[in-house]
Amino acid sequence: MAISTKTTWRQNRDPLWRGDAAPALTHPTPTANKSLVRHILYLDGAGRSSPYHSTSEEQAVAQRFAGRDGRIYSTSARKVRDAGVAHISRIQLLGLLKGKGKGDGKWHNALEVMQARKYVELWQEHLLDYSGIAAARIDAILAVLFG
């Protein structure tokens, strides 16, 4: 379980952390299914195509997802915004993941929406949304965000 080490995450000051078990940063697929529930619950398994990168307010969470052989990356909400990538904050995710969900959080099973919401709370999750970005630009954007 994630344990917060600070009381308030500040968008303009604090980093976003990503743990990746892969030997390199996993590439998002801008044209993949945009379902938040599908992404958060890994419904298509690890390595699935997703237009999102999960990040956390807590470095310890990133370490958990990186595992022993992975790597931890950091970025900031400002870098994300400046790169033209959408930042979906934890607060926004919690708002989308209520009942049967809203917007990209809409899902046919309210229990799965509730489970996704619990994971967002537990991991203090934020999403970076690459949908609408040309696939040819992804490498350059990732170098700016996590390089």
Instruction: Tell the residue number behind the tokens 């991991």, with chain if given.
Output: 123
Mind listing the pLDDT tens digit of every residue in the chain (147 residues)?
A: 445 455 688 887 899 999 998 788 999 999 999 999 999 999 988 878 999 999 999 999 999 999 999 999 999 999 999 999 999 999 999 999 999 999 999 999 999 999 999 999 999 999 999 999 999 999 999 999 998
Q: What is the pLDDT of residue 1?
A: 46
Distance CA 21, CA 36 (A): 21
47-64 core/surface letters (b: 16 or more CB in 10 A; e: else):
eeebbbbbbbbbeebbee
What pTM does this model have?
Answer: 0.91
